C-alpha cells in the first residue's frame, strides 16, 4: 500500500513539473510583438478641415510591443487615409467660367502610442485607451481644365508634412488565435490645426 501511495505522489509531482514546463514553453514561444491590420473611415472635424477635406476610407498596419506589465504596451502604426475630393469652378480674368478643377486629397501617417488596459480585468470584451504622437503627410492633387493654347488638362500636386498627436479608445475581444478590436481616434496636426476622427476595426495576432 505504501509503495502504491509513493508512486502516486511521484507521478503527481512529475505531472506538476510537466505542466509548468508546458506553460513556460508556451510563454517563451509567444512573440513579444503583436502584428495586425485595420480599416475604416475618417471624418474631418471642425470648420477648417471640413471646408478643405471630405470623409474617406482608410487602411493601416500596426505592431504592438508587449511590456512586462500586462496592462501596458507600445503601439506603432502606419496608415493611408483618402480625404475625398473637391470640384471648383475656374474663371478667367473677366470672371468667366472656363472649366472645372478636380482635386483629390490623401494622407499618409506614422504614429507611436502608449496603450493602457484595465489591470486585472478578465471580461470577454476589454476596453483600452491610447495616446501618442506622429508625422502626417497630406498630398493634394489637382487636374486643371484646358486654358488658352493648352490642348489638354494640366495636373499638379503638392505634399505637406507636419507633426501632431493622436488619442483614442477602443474595445477588443479574443477570437481564436487573434484579437478583434474596434476603436475611435482623434488626430490633430498642423498650425491651423487640422483635426480628423478615424474609426477603425481590425485584427491582430495574440
pLDDT higher than 80, residue 29: no
pTM for this prediction: 0.75
Candidates 42, 38, 40; CA nearest to 186 is 42
Q: Please state, in angstroms and rounded to a whole number, the distance separating the CA atoms of residues 79 and 85.
A: 19
Query: In DSSP terms, which residues pair with 165 in a beta bridge?
Result: 133, 188
Q: Please state, in angstroms and rounded to a whole number, the distance separating the CA atoms of residues 76 and 166.
A: 12
- Range in 1-10, 53-62, 63-72, 192-201 with the lowest mean pLDDT: 1-10
Q: What is the mean pLDDT of residues 45-66?
A: 90
Amino acid at each position: 500500500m505504501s509503495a502504491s501511495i509513493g508512486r502516486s505522489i511521484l507521478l503527481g509531482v512529475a505531472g506538476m513539473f510537466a505542466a509548468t514546463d508546458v506553460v513556460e514553453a508556451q510563454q517563451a514561444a509567444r512573440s513579444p510583438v503583436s502584428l495586425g491590420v485595420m480599416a475604416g473611415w475618417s471624418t474631418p472635424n471642425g470648420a477648417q478641415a471640413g471646408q478643405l477635406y471630405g470623409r474617406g476610407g482608410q487602411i493601416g498596419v500596426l505592431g504592438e510591443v508587449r511590456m512586462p506589465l500586462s496592462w501596458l504596451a507600445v503601439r506603432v502604426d502606419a496608415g493611408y487615409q483618402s480625404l475625398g475630393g473637391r470640384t471648383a469652378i475656374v474663371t478667367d480674368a473677366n470672371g468667366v467660367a472656363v472649366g472645372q478643377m478636380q482635386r483629390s486629397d490623401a494622407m499618409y501617417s506614422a504614429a507611436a502610442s502608449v496603450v493602457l488596459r484595465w489591470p486585472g480585468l478578465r471580461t470577454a470584451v476589454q476596453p483600452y485607451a491610447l495616446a501618442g504622437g506622429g508625422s502626417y503627410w497630406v498630398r493634394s492633387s489637382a487636374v486643371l481644365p484646358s486654358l488658352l493654347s493648352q490642348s489638354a488638362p494640366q495636373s499638379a500636386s503638392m505634399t505637406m508634412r507636419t507633426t501632431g498627436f493622436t488619442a483614442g479608445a477602443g474595445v477588443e475581444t479574443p477570437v481564436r488565435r487573434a484579437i478583434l478590436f474596434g476603436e475611435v481616434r482623434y488626430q490633430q496636426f498642423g498650425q491651423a490645426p487640422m483635426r480628423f476622427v478615424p474609426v477603425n476595426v481590425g485584427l491582430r495576432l495574440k
